[in-house]
Amino acid sequence: MDSVLVRSWEEYIPEVVVFQISKVKLRDNVASLGLESYLDGYLNSDEKIAQKWTESVVLDSNDEMVVSACAYFVAQNLITEEQCVELLNNSMSEYQV
């Protein structure tokens, strides 16, 4: 079946590639955008979020906390969705487990 084209009318949905984010890099990148106080405010807004941040060394890019933090920054018109994706990509840990 090599070199065979298959037509499909179903929408292609690419697989989400999950990667790990370094908290240190993330904080540095957020600070470089001048948003460190907003990150601190978000982290302190909920006890579970603060605890998870404190206990984690790295975070998965699809983690609920990461996704909601991006949504928070975008909703506050602090950054665009594209900037958030770039921020996460620039915060990728060198050590993917």
What's the pLDDT band for 6 if we cut at 50, 70, 90?
Answer: low
CA distances to 5, 6, 8, 33 from 2, in Å: 9, 11, 17, 48
- Domain ranges for the chain: 20-90
Distance CA 25, CA 91 (A): 5
In the structure encoding, which two tokens stand for residue 69, read together?
Answer: 């933090």
pLDDT surpasses 80 at 97? no
pLDDT score, position 81: 94
How many other C-beta atoms are found inside a 10 Å radius of the C-beta of residue 5? 4
Per-residue pLDDT tens over the stretch 19-74 = 999 999 999 999 999 999 999 999 999 999 999 999 998 999 999 999 999 999 99
In the structure encoding, which two tokens stand for residue 37, read together?
Answer: 């106080």
To the question of pTM greater than 0.85 for the whole model, the response is: no
